[in-house]
């Protein structure tokens, strides 16, 4: 059977890249941007209000998939902790020549230490490389969903979605 989110819990290929929450390659090359990996129609809309720039839209029917207005998105990451499915990330492919910045939600203890090196895991939980912890934000607004900002190899920015240390 074909590997889809429904059959394996892993989002990949066309199913991932064609969702309305995905920015274009062009936009991703311009700097930090949100990646909304939402592909199943579930009545759910907290992401819409979480964006102060109005870059996430949905329409009246809350079962629809959220759409990213990539020109309005500044990649600030405010939307990351609010998604009940933890399906929103931020990627900045311009962070440096070889590295990208990746923001992930992380609801486990212990939280990683600043500047520490951690193992980078892909959507299957496999170690694909190493990442450096740049920031751990956990303010009241996060409502106990900390957001970890990681320095990752550019070519793995769309693979890494978790850490282990």
Give 8 or 96: the residue with its C-beta nearer to another protein.
8
Q: Which stretch binds another protein (CB under 8 A): 67-75, 81-89, 94-102, 150-158?
A: 81-89
| Alpha-carbon distances, residue 62 vs 41, 122, 132, 135, 137 (angstroms) | 9, 29, 37, 33, 29
Q: Are 102 and 132 in contact (CB under 8 A)?
A: no
- Joined together, the tokens standing for residue 7 give 């059959």
Among 27, 30, 31, 45, binds another protein (CB under 8 A): 45
Q: Is residue 22 within the footprint of another protein (CB under 8 A)?
A: no
| Alpha-carbon distances, residue 128 vs 3, 7, 64, 107, 142 (angstroms) | 20, 23, 33, 21, 28
CB of 133 to another protein, least distance (A): 16
Which residues between 110 and 149 bind another protein (CB under 8 A)? 121-126, 143-145
Give 28 or 163: the residue with its C-beta nearer to another protein.
163
CA atoms of 34 and 21, how far apart (whole Å): 8
Among 39, 56, 100, 103, binds another protein (CB under 8 A): 39
Among 30, 74, 86, 137, binds another protein (CB under 8 A): 86
């Amino acid at each position: 059977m074909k590997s889809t989110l429904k059959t394996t819990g892993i989002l990949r290929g066309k199913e991932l890249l064609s969702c309305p929450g995905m920015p274009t390659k062009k936009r991703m090359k311009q700097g930090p941007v949100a990646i909304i990996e939402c592909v199943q129609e579930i009545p759910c809309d907290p992401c819409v209000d979480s964006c102060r720039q109005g870059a996430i839209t949905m329409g009246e029917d809350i079962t629809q998939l959220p759409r990213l207005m990539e020109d309005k998105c500044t990649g600030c990451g405010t939307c990351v902790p609010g998604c009940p499915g933890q399906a929103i990330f931020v990627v900045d492919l311009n962070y440096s020549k070889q590295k990208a910045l990746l923001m992930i939600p992380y609801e486990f203890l212990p939280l990683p230490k600043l500047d520490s090196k951690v193992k980078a895991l892909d959507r299957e939980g496999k170690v694909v490389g190493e990442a450096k912890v740049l920031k751990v934000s956990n303010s009241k607004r996060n409502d106990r969903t900390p957001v970890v900002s990681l320095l990752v190899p550019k070519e793995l920015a769309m693979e890494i979605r978790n850490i282990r240390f």
